[in-house]
Amino acid sequence: MRARGVALRILICALGVGGLGCPPDLDFRVVGGGPGADGGGPRDGDVPRADGSRATGGPCALPMLLVTVEDLDAGATTSGVVMRFSLGPDEAGPVERCGDLTGQGMLGAQAWAATRLSSGLVAVASPNRVDIVDEASDAIRGAYTSIGWPIDAFTLRAPPGEMIAIADGGSGLDYVRTLTLIDPAGAAMYASWALNDPASGLLLGLGVRAMSASPVDPSRLLALSGTADSAAEIIRPPYDGAAAERETYASAVSDTSLRTVYGWGDATYERAVWVGTPSSGSEGDAVYYAMSPGGVTPPLGPVRGCDSVCAQPLSLVHAIPDPTLNTRFIAICAGTDTTRHVVRFKSTDSSCERLLDGTTVGFRRPTRLAVSTF
């Protein structure tokens, strides 16, 4: 039944039914067997209870990695998951799996991106919906339902406090159409700006491919504009109605198409990580990065890793900085078996760690990563 359901979903995508389009990289095939397939057995890293069921929610030591995972079963309306990993106090770890967040089984099947607030709430964005989950109890505390397809989710510190930021692609995932800020206290819209509306105050155009919080200032955002002269801009949204403030954070990478960006900073480092594809394309995708840049320069790279785990040429879905080591990255890559893995590799050597084995999660696959250190 699951195989039939996945085939139906592919047909629906091809026909464009439903108006929302389909996520990229729907180049998977049904792989039978293994833990979690057809509803049998716990999935990789599940935290077991005494009765054999999975534990959800609960404590998870910082720094924390969030892995948003969608369910590929066309018949599923719920069962999206945010997997949580404690990365350990330093570069040596240990990395430990914490209880998943499922909204007590009610997160949307196409969970796409998540962000954690310092209050312990986690916002999980799916098409048409953002659920706000209490990580301690795994209960949904509120939901916002006026979005399209989320490309990215992150946290911004607006004047009233932390807000959930959704880079909304509207009916697709190619470019950001709208930036919406949601107040987690009441799951209500705090502000929303259409990027192609001169009256909105955030006129960035329709060439923005991805967004994140700025690694320099958490009240500002980092936008991947895709222009010929910029890899990303730092932008202060027009919180007070004034025009947005914009400055170039990193200049463009020559002959490379960048498509995701993620910023993170602490008292020591201000880091940004991109996924991009060089025009030659012979080796596939790569990670590019900036770290406390002095002046406007192109990101460093390309960096590739985990050849033994990831399919070649390398295909990356998303990448973020590892907060425990300034030369290490965490990424989602396509596996050799049409699944996706979460891996960790460095710019300084060929070491590779597989944090999540995609062959063990059944009909699910990771979509976005996030890190929380506060």
> Which residues is 320 bridged to in the sheet?
330
Number of domains into which the chain is organized: 1
Domain region containing 291: 2-372
User: Alpha-carbon Rg of the chain, whole angstroms?
Assistant: 19
The rounded distance, in Å, linking the Cα atoms of 361 and 34 is: 8
- Identify which of 313, 374, 316 has the alpha carbon closest to the alpha carbon of residue 344: 316
The CB-side HSE value for 157 (13 A sphere, CA atoms) comes to: 8
pLDDT at 173: 83
Distance of CA 135 to the CA centre of its chain: 18
Q: What φ, ψ does residue 199 adopt, rounded to 5°?
A: -80, -10
pLDDT at 293: 63
pLDDT at 40: 31
pLDDT at 91: 95
Q: Write the CATH number for 356.
A: 2.120.10.30
The rounded distance, in Å, linking the Cα atoms of 114 and 275 is: 18
Distance of CA 131 to the CA centre of its chain: 15
Per-residue pLDDT of the chain (374 residues; tens, 9 = 90+): 444 344 434 333 444 434 444 444 433 322 222 333 223 334 344 444 443 446 899 999 999 999 999 999 877 788 899 999 999 999 999 999 999 999 999 999 999 999 999 999 999 999 999 999 999 999 999 999 999 999 999 999 999 999 999 999 999 888 999 999 999 999 999 999 999 999 999 999 989 999 999 999 999 999 998 666 899 999 999 998 888 999 999 999 989 999 999 999 988 889 999 999 998 878 999 999 998 766 688 999 999 999 999 999 999 999 999 999 999 999 999 997 779 999 999 999 999 999 999 999 988 999 999 999 98
pLDDT at 44: 42
pLDDT at 324: 97
Whole-model pTM?
0.87
List, edge to edge, every strand of the sheet that includes 300-303.
256-265, 270-278, 286-291, 300-303
Q: What φ, ψ does residue 239 adopt, rounded to 5°?
A: -55, -40
For 78-142, give the DSSP string. B--EEEEEE--SSTT---EE--BB-TTTTSBTT--EEEE-TTSEEEEEETTEEEEEETTTTEEEE
